[in-house]
Chains A and B, each alone.
Chain A
Amino acid sequence: QKEVEQNSGPLSVPEGAIASLNCTYSDRGSQSFFWYRQYSGKSPELIMSIYSNGDKEDGRFTAQLNKASQYVSLLIRDSQPSDSATYLCAVAQGGAQKLVFGQGTRLTINP
């Protein structure tokens, strides 16, 4: 079992709709969770971090964390073509803050 799992997609969503990205992790002791966006040929860009159970909203983005289910998700409201990218879920492990990444979900927003 991979430590951090994501559906690789591709996920296609019409412009203006809600895009839902999911991630599960295996280390029950994990405390810090991150969503990164990566455009083709570029390095990842941090868009959300979440540390507590529940929802965290930032603009059009909402991260959801359920530690009991070892599940973290990212919702993108009012999806725009510029949101088309690969979204990486990352989980920090241990005191050294090492990030373990999922394989990424490729999202395409269709105009």
Chain B
Amino acid sequence: GAVVSQHPSWVICKSGTSVKIECRSLDFQATTMFWYRQFPKQSLMLMATSNEGSKATYEQGVEKDKFLINHASLTLSTLTVTSAHPEDSSFYICSPHTRTYEQYFGPGTRLTVT
């Protein structure tokens, strides 16, 4: 399967600040990266799809101006949560698009906004 890293693994920030989460595909080039979030005791929900060299595609209900996605290269995608609020506290997980339909997830970033 794909080897994916995320940084940071956890972060605590104050309300109103911004947080950047990095996702790296370590063993292959990912033209597309999926970003998910998971609230406590809930399942994963797709937030957006990032594409190298073009704008991200956001799912319905996800604010594109709040969750900024940049796919800087074939191995790096970033998610920035701008002006974070406590309701943004969640587990954020990336998953690179592979040549098969199987998706492998990064280790996740736990964000807590106080």
Write out the residue numbers on chain A whose beta carbons fall within 8 Å of the beta carbon of B102: 34, 46, 49
Give bound CA distance, A45 to B101, whole Å.
15
Q: Are A44 and B44 in contact (CB under 8 A)?
A: yes
Q: Are B34 and A98 in contact (CB under 8 A)?
A: yes
Identify the stretch in A54-62, A66-74, A99-107 within 8 Å (CB) of chain B at 4 or more residues: A99-107
Which of B34, B42, B44: most chain A Cβ within 10 A? B44
Task: Say yes or no: A98-B49 contact (C-beta < 8 A), given A46-B1, A46-B102, A49-B102.
Answer: yes
A-B CB contacts (within 8 Å), total count:
47
Chain A's closest residue to B10 (CB) is A41
Interface residue range, chain B: 20 to 34
Write out the residue numbers on chain B whose beta carbons fall within 8 Å of the beta carbon of A45: 105
Interface of A is mostly: strand
Q: Please tell me the number of chain A residues within 8 Å of chain B, measured between CB atoms.
A: 22
Give bound CA distance, A99 to B36, whole Å.
10
Write out the residue numbers on chain B whose beta carbons fall within 8 Å of the beta carbon of A42: 107-108
Residue-by-residue, is B39-52 near A (CB-CB < 8 Å gives 1, otherwise 0)? Answer: 00011111001000
Q: Are B46 and A99 in contact (CB under 8 A)?
A: yes
14 contacts across the A-B interface (CB closer than 8 A): A42-B108, A45-B105, A49-B101, A88-B44, A90-B103, A98-B46, A98-B49, A99-B34, A99-B46, A99-B95, A101-B44, A101-B45, A103-B43, A104-B43
Closest 6 CB pairs of A and B: A43-B108, A32-B101, A43-B105, A101-B43, A101-B44, A103-B43
13 further interface pairs, Cβ-Cβ under 8 Å (given A41-B110, A51-B101, A101-B43): A34-B103, A42-B108, A44-B93, A45-B105, A88-B44, A92-B101, A97-B97, A97-B101, A98-B49, A99-B95, A101-B44, A101-B45, A102-B43
